[in-house]
Chain A
Amino acid sequence: MPSRTAAGGRAAVVTGAGVGPATRRGAPHAPAWLAALPALVVIGLFSAYPVLVMVANSLGLGQPPADGGPTLEHYARALGSVTVREALLNSLYIAVGSVLITLCVAVPVVLRQADDDRAGRRGGAATDALLTLPIALPGIIIGFFAIVLTGRTGLLGLAWDGFSGLAYTFSGLLIAYLYFSLPRVLGPLRGAAATLDPSLTESARTLGASRPRVFLTVTLPLLLPAAIETSGTAIAVALGGYGTVATLSEGCGSCRSTLPTNSPPGTGSPPRPPSR
Chain B
Amino acid sequence: MSTPAAVPTTDPTPTAVRPAGLTVDDLTVRYGSTTAVEHVSLDVAPAETVAVIGPSGCGKSTTLRAVAGLVPVAEGAVGLAGRDITGLSPARRDIGLVPQNYAVFPHMSVAANIGYGLRARGTATPRREERVREMLELTHLSDLAERRPDQLSGGQRQRVALARALAIQPDALLLDEPLAALDPQLRGGLRRELAAMLAATECATLIVTHDQREALSLGSRIALLRDGRLVQFDTPQRLWDDPVDAFVADFLAGAVLLDAEVADGHAVTLDGRWRIPVGDLAVRPTGHGAVRLLLRHDSLTVTDDADAAALLAEVTHSEFTGDGVHLTVRAGERLLGVRVPPDARIGRSVSLAVAPGRATLLSPRA
Contacts and interface: CB of A to CB of B under 8 A. Distances in A.
B105 A206 contact: no
Interface stretch (B114-122, B210-218, B230-238): B114-122
Contact of A202 (B70, B93, B164): B70
B107 interface: yes
B90 A202 contact: yes
B101 A199 contact: yes
B57 to A, nearest CB: 15
A209 B107 contact: no
Contacts, number: 64
Interface size class of A (residues with CB under 8 A): 10 to 19
Nearest to B170: A206
A105 interface: no
Interface size class of B (residues with CB under 8 A): 20 to 34
B97 A203 contact: yes
A197 B103 CA distance: 8
Contacts of A124: none
A276 B299 CA distance: 93
Given A203-B99, A206-B68, A206-B96, A218 B105 contact: yes
Contact of A207 (B89, B107, B116): B116
Interface in A164-210: 197, 199-200, 202-210
A222 B107 contact: yes
A213 B120 contact: yes
Given A213-B120, A222-B106, A222-B107, A206 B95 contact: yes
Most buried by A among B69, B107, B164, B168: B107
B121 A208 contact: yes
A202 B70 CA distance: 7
A95 B70 CA distance: 40
A158 B117 CA distance: 53
Contacts of B107: 221-222
29 contacts: A199-B100, A199-B101, A199-B103, A200-B103, A202-B90, A202-B103, A203-B97, A203-B105, A203-B161, A203-B164, A204-B120, A205-B69, A205-B70, A205-B91, A206-B90, A206-B93, A206-B95, A207-B96, A207-B117, A207-B164, A207-B165, A207-B168, A208-B92, A208-B117, A209-B120, A213-B120, A217-B116, A218-B105, A221-B107
A65 to B, nearest CB: 51
Interface of B: 68-70, 89-93, 95-97, 99-101, 103, 105-107, 116-117, 120-121, 161, 164-165, 168
Contact of B105 (A200, A202, A210, A213): A200
A205 B161 CA distance: 14
A205 B120 CA distance: 9
Given A217-B116, A222-B106, 5 more contacts: A199-B101, A203-B99, A204-B120, A206-B95, A206-B165
B243 to A, nearest CB: 33
A218 B101 CA distance: 16
Contacts of A210: 91, 120
Interface string A18-33: 0000000000000000
B91 A206 contact: yes
B120 A207 contact: yes
Rank and list the top 6 A-B pairs by shortest CB-CB distance, nearest first. Answer: A207-B117, A209-B120, A199-B103, A199-B99, A206-B97, A205-B90
Most buried by A among B92, B93, B99, B101: B99
